Amino acid sequence: MSSSPVLPLELEMTIFKLCALSLPVFIPKLMLVAHRVKEWVEPILYHTICICADGWSAPEFPRFTQDTVASLITQKPAAFFRKHVHHLTLIDETADGENGKLLLAMCSDAENLWIGYTDNTWVPLVEYLPLKRLDIDLELFLSLEPTQPIFSRLTHLTLDQPAAASALARLPMLSHLALSWQHDHAAEYSQDLALETLVVFIVLSSSPSKLAAKEEIVELAKDLRFVIMPLQSFIRDWHSGIRNGKDYWSDAEAFVAMRQTQGANAVSCFWQPADSDTKSDAA
């Protein structure tokens, strides 16, 4: 079978790119069709790189193992990663992380980073990135120097526990904040809501409907930006946000808009999917 194009080249390129975007997991197979097809779709494959343990992966998206990343680093120049990689997840804590460090050092134009490592050796690799979205452990976040460029553009921040209000005040563009619920940090949540730049403030919980009834939450919920959301399949949600803008951030934005329209008394601060059952929460 000839690999010569039958359709006009621009139309063929559009078709293959659409296939790659709609079915990312099949991009490696598309790259085998022809050299020209490889040139079109390979950058799409590396637009988003996710290095995670088996249990975290989403089957409809390519998964980059430590071995594939090690091979990739030797095959591609730093300029390739700088140009094409914009979204990066590094949460495979079963590995030593050295390949992740090499990769992150080359992805100097990444705008979206989810990092599961906590040791301070990652600080020099993170603090100069032009990030807009960051999911990070609080300890590593607090190790970042407040004068570094990372803080000037960051709009979306997810932490595993609350940070001091003074730490968040370093982020002049912060509009979206997500935290895990911890009962002994209720006072810090109130301080976070004092940030005038916030548009959405999400608290993530394994039992959101039960949490919504707590006295501290009832008080916090008077602020219409406050949203309680269930813990989710975050890898799939993360990919969905990158591909079509539909993720827990967009869900929370729409929910906050509804609360602002109808009022705090009319709409609970507890967000749930349309087909969910609040009775299914764990005790």
Residue 110 vs residue 212, higher pLDDT: 110
Which candidate, 92, 85, 144, places its Cα nearest to that of 110?
85
Any bridge partners for residue 227, and if so which? Answer: 202
What pLDDT score was predicted for residue 5? Answer: 63
Mean pLDDT of the chain: 84
- How many other CB atoms are there within 10 angstroms of residue 36's CB atom? 15
**Contact predicate 270/207, CB 8 Å:** no
The Cα 230–Cα 112 span in angstroms is: 22
> pLDDT for 83-98, tens place per residue?
999 999 998 765 667 8
CB contact at 8 A, 21 and 243 = yes
Task: Answer whether 110's CB lies under 8 Å from 87's CB.
Answer: yes
pLDDT in tens, 172-218: 999 999 988 766 666 777 788 888 899 999 988 877 777 777 777 88
Instruction: Write down the pTM of the prediction.
Output: 0.86
Task: Find, among 17, 40, 38, 18, the residue nearest to 28 by Cα.
Answer: 38
The DSSP annotation for 84-107 comes to: H--EEEE--TTS-SHHHHHHHHH-
Mean of pLDDT values over 257-280 = 74
Identity of the residue numbered 163: A
Phi, psi (degrees; rounded to nearest 5) at 155 = -110, -30
Query: Mean pLDDT, to the nearest integer, of 122-136?
Result: 93
Q: Which has more pLDDT, 146 or 4?
A: 146
User: Does 1 score more than 50 pLDDT?
Assistant: no
